[in-house]
Amino acid sequence: MQAINRIKIPSTIAAYFVAASFLFTSPPVRAETSLERGAYLMNSIVACGNCHTPQTPAGPAPGMELAGTYLIEEKGVFTAFAPNITPDPETGIGGWSEMDLKKAIRDGIRPDGSVIGPPMPIGLYKGISDQDLDAIVAYVRSVPPVKNQVQRSLYQIPLPPNYGPPAANVQAPSSDDTLAYGAYLAGPLGHCIECHPPFTDGHPDYANRLGAGGVEFIGPWGKSVSANITPHADGLKAKTDDYLASVITTGKRPDGSTLKPPMGFSYYRNLRQQDLAAIIGYLRSLPPLPSLR
């Protein structure tokens, strides 16, 4: 039998290849913790601080994160004050348990059994996944407590006794499914679709006017009107993805004009590129609708 010639690699060269394998092997990616996920969501698409943190012309007021006092008025419907949701035991949610906070966010029920009214988008928040709800609650419970008493909201419409059965076992769509994940970001997490359809009887008209805009918001900034975000000529049809990404994250149009609250661009600027692209893709998938004149 013919002998097989074996090539002997010098020990110094062998050692080089062993060392090189460590240099060129990517380190394992560390999983994002629940608190880190919550921090990303709360400071980008979820943007609870857009309502619950006092805002200044320069952005969120320093030292007042989630301390409340933001006002939204819908004439003949409600005068709503965003409550203090810091862990302050007297004026915030410091006395609430983790489950109390989850029930308030996703089911719209406070620990005392009272119902949370609009503009808190409970109908959409029911779609927040269990994992993301855990992350949001972890972040809210981690912020510094701030003592700030906020008056209760006033409603001229009757509130429902509840928002239906408690949500449970909710899973987020895969981020690989761009359209479904974009709908999740713009719906349950970001509630973009809460502000951009006209209201009927105090409720967004999702069925007929989803994304068509025209909602008036009265606040410290004066009056603002939500834009048409459907792919109609009155909306996004002529806008490029780059244009939309810039306006969403900066609040500035190319002509130099600036969007008004409650558009949360001071938070949306922190959106990851993949998430921003998913949102834009979802908006382009909406049925094109004309603006109401």
Cα distances (angstroms) measured from residue 261 to each of 21, 93, 202, 251, 258: 53, 26, 20, 9, 10
What percentage of the chain reaches a pLDDT higher than 90?
A: 66
**The two three-digit tokens of residue 36, written as one number:** 């880190």
Question: With contact defined as beta carbons under 8 Å apart, do 50 and 128 qualify?
Answer: no
Least confident residue range of 20-34, 174-188, 252-266: 20-34
Q: Which of 185-199, 251-265, 268-282 has the highest mean predicted lDDT (pLDDT)?
A: 268-282
Least confident of 96-110, 208-222, 265-279: 208-222
Whether this prediction's pTM lies above 0.95 is answered by no
Give the pLDDT score at 1: 43
Query: What are the sequence ranges of the domains in the chain?
Result: 32-171, 173-293
For 28-77, how does the pLDDT look when each residue is reduced to its tens digit (9 = 90+)? 667 799 999 999 999 999 999 999 998 777 778 899 999 998 788 877 88
Pick from 30-34, 79-83, 106-110, 200-204: least confident: 200-204
Q: What pLDDT score was predicted for residue 25?
A: 53
Q: Count the Cβ atoms, other than its own, within 10 Å of residue 136.
A: 25
How many Cβ atoms sit within 10 Å of the Cβ of residue 235? 23
241-260: average pLDDT: 93
**Torsion over CA: 191, 197, 198, 202 (sign):** negative
- 173-293 has which CATH code? 1.10.760
Alpha carbon of 165 to those of 26, 101, 123, 191, 247: distances in Å? Answer: 46, 17, 11, 20, 38
CB 131 within 8 Å of CB 186: no
